[in-house]
Structure 1
Amino acid sequence: MKLAPNAATVKRALSAHAAIGLLAGALLYLVCLSGTALVFYEEWQRAEQGDAPEMTTIDPQAVQRGVAAVLASERGKPPTTHLYVHLPVPELPRTTITTDTQAVHLDADGRVAAPEENAWSEFLYGLHYTLHLPGVVGITIVGILGMLMVALSISGLIAHPRIFRDAFRFRTRHSGGVALSDWHNRLSVWTLPFGLAIAITGAAIGLASVTAYALANRYYDNDLEAVYAPIFGDEGKPDAAPAPVPAVATALETMAQRFPEVAITYVTLHDPMTAGQHVQIVASPPRRLIFGEYYAFDAAGRFKGTAGLSDGAIGQQAAASNYNLHFGNYGGLPVKIAYCLFGFALTIVCATGVYIWLGKRRRRGVHEPRLLGAWHGVVWGAPAALAITLAARFALGNAAWFTAIFWTALALAIVAAIAAAHRAAAARNRSGNDIAPSAREQPAG
């Protein structure tokens, strides 16, 4: 009995295999592209809503008034589980309160000034963080892509033993595949430390959720909060009995007195207006990579202790450093500009890597114009789709359907590029000009 598949089946299987590889490359390209733009997350928010009140500092009593006003406006709604107060920082000098149902800006006196309108920035964040896929599914896929980046970086080094020696060598007399390969290899070397740091931290952040769910299921009776408690502190015991607004101003004043050297970024109220409520303040110590330390207070504003992110176990400090190292939230604008440049280089590496792979397949006699066209559509369609969504933000307002616009525009770009590549290939076949590149144009590796 003949069990081996026929030639047509093998060809279809190879095409399917290549299409899956192209899909992984496309997702990695989108993550790198969106991450490069997301470096300026705070700047995008300020551009979206230029008329929002801004201040360098805000008085604790003004924060207290704002919290009370927002909680009063939530009466009659399902109780919010968390209330977040973003305090002014140099990158985003605004005071914003977010609950489960709303987000508003405060003025310097603590009055509610306007709803927060940063839907495009949140769309961009969602694209990079989850590829707009549901919750843990999306962030896990992005984490796996981080692992793929690590594997590609290491395997690329092993596959090109002269890569460091040739770090500044360009074969400018060549064109086509050789030039593309040189740019790919050189940019890979120049961005290697950055790329590994981004890939490793991205994989850690992306896979943390699925790991936490697995640990909760195996060891903590599905209590997800118990998994995170040793690192970030516990949530406390809930008590739904009614209670007055917690003393946020007292907690902020205590912070100013006891920890004047730290920069406060967030105040979080857990289970506000209930007897189980407590206050948590996030503040960044100077000259540290961690995103911040958690300072715990009770509802009366009495200090209870810290979580230990700044001086606890080395694993805690490492976990708290992942975020800033990945997103470039340290060192101000110069670091952001450097992250943007390195991120753009990584995006080019992703794009050229797939072009090189498709070129090698073509030189082996595997002609797939549709796949090449699809990759053209991804490489040029994704930034164009992002530009369209940004234009829609300022033309149509905060309520525009950015996710639908982006994925529709990208899909149309891919379809159009595939159709154009198919027509071009058919025209070459008819004219007899579909000739493989000469040997001198083939990449050396």
Structure 2
Amino acid sequence: MSATSLRRWSWVHTWSSLVCTAFLLLLCLTGLPLIFHHEIEDLTGHGGPPPMAAGTPHTDLDRVVATGLARRPGEVVQYLIWDRDEPDSIWLSLAPSRTAPVSELHGVVVDARTAQVLDEPGKGEGFMFWMFRLHVDLFAGLPGKLFLGAMGLLFVAAIVSGVVLYGPFMRKLEFGTVRRDRSRRLRWLDLHNLLGVVTLTWALVVGGTGVINTLADLVIEAWRRDQLAEMVAPYRALPPVATLGSVERAVAAARAAAPGMTPYFVAYPETSFSSAHHYAVFMRGVTPLTSRLLTPALVDAATGEVTAMRSMPWYATALFVSQPLHFGDYGGMPLKILWALLDLATMIVLGSGLYLFVVRRRAGRRAAIAAAE
């Protein structure tokens, strides 16, 4: 590679890294507790349902919904969600109306077997809430998500340019060499390069999936305008359903239409994932892979009949598959620990890169002053 090309790649690596480093450090710091969010919630008193005999059947979903609504009179259900980690827990998202924004949602967690309230997480409260919002959108909504997506793209550019520069740099050194007998700057440079190569694949996966996750709102809107619009086209001229039928009946109809699958969440009529006339029952598989692939079944909210069902488009599937890869929550505790160690190593890479830039700038200024004297 020519000297000119190396200088260009070095410029890309330096400035793409500098622009995104502060935000990547923030994402690494906030992402660390999110890897262990379930364990942290257990320790802070937000545990799962009480133990009962294995195979205890779930109660009627209409009863579960009635329990949640009784805790917040005057509100309505927007979403009914089964907890992935605690299948005996059901999360009800309640709001003043079905078109209310996310900021007005309140959660009530109900035991799916006994219909007893397990928890009422405070809206906008707690350590994990702050970590999640900082990690996802910096408390800035869609603009914050897109900004972090741009930082993620710069991070990917920094990784790629770093790989290009690593080959010529290591021609005269053995892999993994850290020159402890040289200056502090060279020791940190060697450590920066070593950890950068060790975390290369992980950083690309997490950085790339993070960028995809920032597009979630746009992906869902594209699905609404595309497939969902097609599936509800026969209802377009009809008024919104006046009286909702049984959600238990709707879920049973979706189960019958998708044998071998299990419900993940139900979107009520007029919410972002449904129409004004349907329960949208999102079904998922039961294996580690298929559990991330969702198939919505639209159930007429008045009659309880399935009117349409089709797999999500490729761009939505890419979003759903990217989420477990980003947080490392699909392989149990060993994978979570590995994700945490790689996260810490990435923080060292980012911090050492910033240190090397500052040291080099100082050395350049000192050389310029000496030359001028």
- TM-score (norm: length of structure 2): 0.74
| 2:180 is the alignment partner of 1:180 | no
CA deviation after TM superposition for structure 1 residue 144, in Å: 0.7
1:289-310 alpha-carbon deviations (Å, 9 max, x no partner)? 673313322324433443413x
Are the counterparts in 2 of residues 295 and 307 from structure 1 also a CA contact under 8 Å? yes
Structure 2 counterpart of 1:126: 133
Matches within 5 A, 1:400-411: none
CA deviation after TM superposition for structure 1 residue 184, in Å: 1.2
Is 179-188 or 22-31 further displaced after alignment?
22-31
The 3 A distance-change label for structure 1 pair 142 and 366 is farther
The 3 A distance-change label for structure 1 pair 112 and 179 is same
CA deviation after TM superposition for structure 1 residue 267, in Å: 2.7
Aligned with 1:161: secondary structure? helix
Are the counterparts in 2 of residues 157 and 163 from structure 1 also a CA contact under 8 Å? no
1:298 to 297, 300, 303: 300
1:148-201 alpha-carbon deviations (Å, 9 max, x no partner)? 110100111112215677442222333521221122111111111111111112
Residue identity in the other structure for 2:267: T
| 2:337 is the alignment partner of 1:337 | yes
2:116 to 111, 115, 133: 111
The 3 A distance-change label for structure 1 pair 167 and 208 is farther
Structure 2 counterpart of 1:136: 142
The 3 A distance-change label for structure 1 pair 281 and 194 is same
Structure 1 counterpart of 2:99: none
* Overall identity of the aligned pairs, in %: 24
Structure 1 counterpart of 2:153: 147
Structure 1 counterpart of 2:6: none
Aligned with 1:61: secondary structure? coil
The 3 A distance-change label for structure 1 pair 258 and 59 is farther
Residue identity in the other structure for 1:172: R
What is the count of residue pairs matched by the alignment? 329
Structure 2 counterpart of 1:283: 284
Q: Could you list the runs of 5+ residues in structure 1 that have no partner in the other structure?
A: 1-17, 213-223, 368-434, 436-445
Counterparts of 1:359 and 1:139, CA distance in 2: 32
Matches within 5 A, 1:248-327: 248-254=247-253, 259=258, 261-271=260-270, 276-288=277-289, 291-296=292-297, 297-299=299-301, 300-309=303-312, 314-327=314-327
Structure 1 counterpart of 2:166: 160
Aligned with 1:174: secondary structure? coil
Counterparts of 2:281 and 2:206, CA distance in 1: 29
Matches within 5 A, 1:288-437: 288=289, 291-296=292-297, 297-299=299-301, 300-309=303-312, 314-365=314-365
CA deviation after TM superposition for structure 1 residue 122, in Å: 1.7
Counterparts of 2:170 and 2:314, CA distance in 1: 33
CA deviation after TM superposition for structure 1 residue 241, in Å: 5.1
The 3 A distance-change label for structure 1 pair 113 and 270 is same
1:415-441 alpha-carbon deviations (Å, 9 max, x no partner)? xxxxxxxxxxxxxxxxxxxx9xxxxxx
CA deviation after TM superposition for structure 1 residue 106, in Å: 1.2
Q: Could you list the runs of 5+ residues in structure 2 that have no partner in the other structure?
A: 1-13, 96-104
Aligned with 1:270: secondary structure? coil
Aligned with 1:160: secondary structure? helix
Is 315-324 or 182-191 further displaced after alignment?
315-324
Counterparts of 2:22 and 2:358, CA distance in 1: 13
Aligned with 1:329: secondary structure? coil
1:114-162 alpha-carbon deviations (Å, 9 max, x no partner)? 4125632121110111122x21121111101110110100111112215
Aligned with 1:98: secondary structure? strand
CA deviation after TM superposition for structure 1 residue 252, in Å: 3.6
Are the counterparts in 2 of residues 285 and 292 from structure 1 also a CA contact under 8 Å? no
CA deviation after TM superposition for structure 1 residue 43, in Å: 2.5
Counterparts of 2:16 and 2:165, CA distance in 1: 22
CA deviation after TM superposition for structure 1 residue 259, in Å: 4.5
The 3 A distance-change label for structure 1 pair 19 and 287 is closer
| 2:42 is the alignment partner of 1:27 | no
Is 298-307 or 34-43 further displaced after alignment?
298-307
Structure 1 counterpart of 2:35: 39
Counterparts of 1:314 and 1:52, CA distance in 2: 34
CA deviation after TM superposition for structure 1 residue 357, in Å: 0.9
Aligned with 1:365: secondary structure? helix
Are the counterparts in 1 of residues 285 and 291 from structure 2 also a CA contact under 8 Å? yes
Structure 2 counterpart of 1:61: 59
The 3 A distance-change label for structure 1 pair 353 and 139 is same
Counterparts of 2:309 and 2:62, CA distance in 1: 22
Aligned with 1:99: secondary structure? strand
Are the counterparts in 2 of residues 60 and 248 from structure 1 also a CA contact under 8 Å? no
Counterparts of 2:89 and 2:170, CA distance in 1: 46
1:100-124 alpha-carbon deviations (Å, 9 max, x no partner)? 3421121331133441256321211
Are the counterparts in 2 of residues 269 and 277 from structure 1 also a CA contact under 8 Å? yes
Counterparts of 2:278 and 2:250, CA distance in 1: 14
Counterparts of 2:15 and 2:276, CA distance in 1: 56
Counterparts of 2:203 and 2:115, CA distance in 1: 42
Residue identity in the other structure for 1:174: R
